[in-house]
Amino acid sequence: MGKNLADYDFFDPEVIESPYEFYQLLRSQAPVYQLPGTNIFMLSRWEDIRRAAKDTATFSNDFIHLLKGPEPCAEAADIYAGGIEPVDTLLTMDPPRHKTYRSLINKVFSAGRVEKMRPYMERIVDELIDSFIDRGECEFVHDFATPLPVYVIGDQLGVPRSDLRKIKAWSDAFASRLGGMASPEEEVENARLIVEYQRYMAEVVEDRRASPRDDMISDLVNIEIEEGRQMSLQEAISMIEQLLVAGNETTTSALTGGLLSLIQLSDQLQTLLEDPGMIDNAVEEILRLETPSAGLWRVVTRDTEIQGVAIPKDSLLMLRYASGNRDERVFSDPENMDVCRHNADDNIAFGYGTHFCPGAMLARKEMQVAYAGLLRRLTNIQLAPGKNDLTHWPNVVLRGLKELHITFDRKA
Ligand code: HEM
């Protein structure tokens, strides 16, 4: 007998690992579902999610105070006190204030700048493949999917390669603090890394104000954010933090999950090998199926209802992008990968509306260049026998494989 909704606990690690039957039940039986015993309502259908994402007056992004988790322990609080006081910007802001920061970031992430980055991304992809191709095997997350976005954003932010390991450590520390599950020792380590980031970036920001270069930080800190005003140091540090945290894990996860699917579905891989022109569409299909930002929060600002379900003020709404991307009302045969799917780019992996991901063009380009490089240089890509358990990080917001061990041959 099939399972009922009541059999699923959304926070159960097993459900987080394999959520797709649960999502299917939600979409068919309870598209606006109150998680039992909580004030959390989950939206699972594509259309409802898009409508809610546009209604920023009712569904607010001002959720940072709810997600900060417990107060840090005394030792960590002392370390934070010696850093730079954080301020709210962008992701956790609503219109009209959100627009001030968003216009700035849109200028910095212009289509022209991203398009110009293709040859440079191709060089990074080739360097990474060079670093493991002779071994005939690699751990794809560590050797490729993590460094690629870190190198790209690090270069854009003007952080020298010798400091790139720090970028990864900093973005992990931010993610861990946001997760609210850190032990006291980890809290102290997070605090140390976050204050290190603040001091490091403060120097970079001052440097780019004094001598601007052709990089994103220079644009961010020198363009006027409002008439007659550039961003303060605190605002700049908060914006750069969001670029680090939002872009790294997500792109890594999309790259890794996509490669696993291509390995498992040899007909899909074959289509791309025969027609590399399909890679851009395949990237959309991978984003649809992987949806690394599986769900995002909204705070309900007034009593409202969706599909006849009453949602009281102060409830939390979870926009389950990962479920919307498998909505059978929009995508035919949604659980299966089809790299030629005609409407793959209707996916909502980058969100929708006001907070639509400003890094979408950059992430797409990285993925397109990455798969093109991998398929051009490697053949016979397989899962390394006995090394993979193919599990994901336990996280209700982000979804990503922990590891992917592969073997391959070099293309002649
Ligand atoms: C595959 C990779 C990526 C995915 C799946 C992804 C997903 C998302 C999603 C779903 C949102 C909307 C959040 C919401 O609804 O509240 C978002 C926002 C955001 N993303 Fe991305 N993202 C990716 C890559 C990047 C990259 C590469 C960057 C920058 C380097 C970036 C920077 C941001 C920022 C700053 C926001 C906040 C925008 C705002 O509030 O206006 N993301 N992203």
Residue written as token pair 């095997």 = 137
How many angstroms does the Cα of residue 91 sit away from the middle of ligand 1? Answer: 9
Max Cα distance, the chain (Å): 68
Residue identifier of the C-alpha nearest atom 43 of ligand 1? 357
Supply the pLDDT for residue 348. 98
Residue written as token pair 């802001």 = 93
Q: Which residues lie across from 42 on neighbouring strands?
A: 33, 318
Supply the pLDDT for residue 132. 98
Count how many domains the chain has: 1
Residue identifier of the C-alpha nearest atom 27 of ligand 1? 247
Q: Which residue out of 250, 259, 284, 316 has the highest number of ligand 1 atoms within 8 Å of its CB and is therefore the one to mutate?
A: 250
| Cβ neighbours of residue 196 closer than 8 Å, sequence gap 6 or more | 166, 170
How many angstroms does the Cα of residue 243 sit away from the middle of ligand 1? Answer: 8
**What's the CA gap between 20 and 7, in Å, rounded?**
14
How many angstroms does the Cα of residue 251 sit away from the middle of ligand 1? Answer: 10
**What's the CA gap between 156 and 177, in Å, rounded?**
25
How many angstroms does the Cα of residue 394 sit away from the middle of ligand 1? Answer: 20
SS3 388: coil
Q: Which residues lie across from 260 on neighbouring strands?
A: none
SS3 326: coil
How many angstroms does the Cα of residue 148 sit away from the middle of ligand 1? Answer: 17
**Could you read off the pLDDT of 124-141 as tens digits, one per residue?**
999 999 999 999 999 999
The answer to whether residues 237 and 201 touch, using CB atoms and an 8 Å cutoff, is yes
CA quadruple 235, 240, 243, 244: dihedral positive or negative?
Answer: negative
Provide the domain limits for residue 15: 5-410
How many angstroms does the Cα of residue 355 sit away from the middle of ligand 1? Answer: 8
User: Residue 311: in which H helix or E strand, if any?
Assistant: strand 309-311
**Could you read off the pLDDT of 81-95 as tens digits, one per residue?**
999 887 888 888 999
Predicted TM-score (pTM) of the model is 0.94
Supply the pLDDT for residue 179. 62
Q: Which two tokens stand for residue 133?
A: 């191709």
Residue 72: pLDDT above 90? Answer: no
In ligand 1, which atom is closest to the CA atom of 101? Answer: 41
**What's the CA gap between 406 and 382, in Å, rounded?**
6
Residue identifier of the C-alpha nearest atom 25 of ligand 1? 247
Q: Which of 48, 40, 42 is nearest to 67 (CA)?
A: 40
Would strands 296-300 and 32-34 be described as parallel, antiparallel, or unpaired?
A: unpaired
User: Residue 382: in which H helix or E strand, if any?
Assistant: strand 378-383
Half-sphere exposure of 368 (CA within 13 A, CB side): 18
Q: Measured from the CB, is residue 146 less than 6 Å from ligand 1?
A: no
Residue identifier of the C-alpha nearest atom 20 of ligand 1? 357
Distances (CA, A) of 229 to 34, 83, 103, 357: 44, 24, 14, 25
| Cβ neighbours of residue 288 closer than 8 Å, sequence gap 6 or more | 325, 326, 331, 341, 344, 347, 349
Please list, residue by residue across 94-106, b when 16 or more beta carbons sit within 10 angstroms of its beta carbon and e when fewer do. beeebebbbebbe
**Could you read off the pLDDT of 186-200 as tens digits, one per residue?**
999 999 999 999 999
Supply the pLDDT for residue 172. 82
Residue written as token pair 């606006």 = 32
Work out the percent of the chain whose per-residue pLDDT is above 90.
72
**CATH number, domain at 287?**
1.10.630.10
In ligand 1, which atom is closest to the CA atom of 366? Answer: 27
How many angstroms does the Cα of residue 134 sit away from the middle of ligand 1? Answer: 35
Supply the pLDDT for residue 87. 83
Q: Can you give the length of the chain in residues? A: 412
Half-sphere exposure of 120 (CA within 13 A, CB side): 12
Type of residue found at 196: E
**Could you read off the pLDDT of 199-256 as tens digits, one per residue?**
999 999 999 999 998 888 898 999 888 888 899 999 999 899 888 878 888 999 999 9
pLDDT band at residue 120 under the 50/70/90 scheme: very high
| Alpha-carbon dihedral 230, 232, 238, 241, rounded to 10 degrees | 70
In the sheet that 296-300 helps form, which strands lie side by side, from edge to edge? 32-34, 40-43, 316-319, 296-300, 59-60
**Could you read off the pLDDT of 282-332 as tens digits, one per residue?**
999 999 999 999 999 999 999 999 999 999 999 999 999 999 999 999 999
Residue identifier of the C-alpha nearest atom 8 of ligand 1? 350
